[in-house]
Amino acid sequence: MDVKEMEYWMSKSMGGYTREELQDAFDKICNQENWKDCIEATIPTSEYRKADVAAVFFTGGGLEIVAERGDVLDVFGYGYYHHIGA
């Protein structure tokens, strides 16, 4: 795989967001003691797509919606350790 092809696939995995945007979104949802642990967070409904893409980008798996409460969502993600089989 050449550099251009790698850049293409990296940009596809980022869902149209920059790495900085994904990092900001992930910082809001990740476990603050260990980012590799499961994700349990409450986020505005409007931020779900970016948070889901960020979870996939940094942990290898997306978010599940656990509950919808008005304009916020409770979400869960299995985390990096789970997705790498640790």
Query: What was the pLDDT predicted at 45?
Result: 98
Query: What was the pLDDT predicted at 14?
Result: 83
What's the distance, CA 84 to chain centroid?
Answer: 15
Q: CB 27: neighbour CB atoms within 10 A?
A: 12
Q: Which two tokens stand for residue 44?
A: 């505005």
Q: Which two tokens stand for residue 60?
A: 């290898």
pTM: 0.87
Tens-digit pLDDT profile for residues 18-41: 999 999 999 999 999 999 999 999
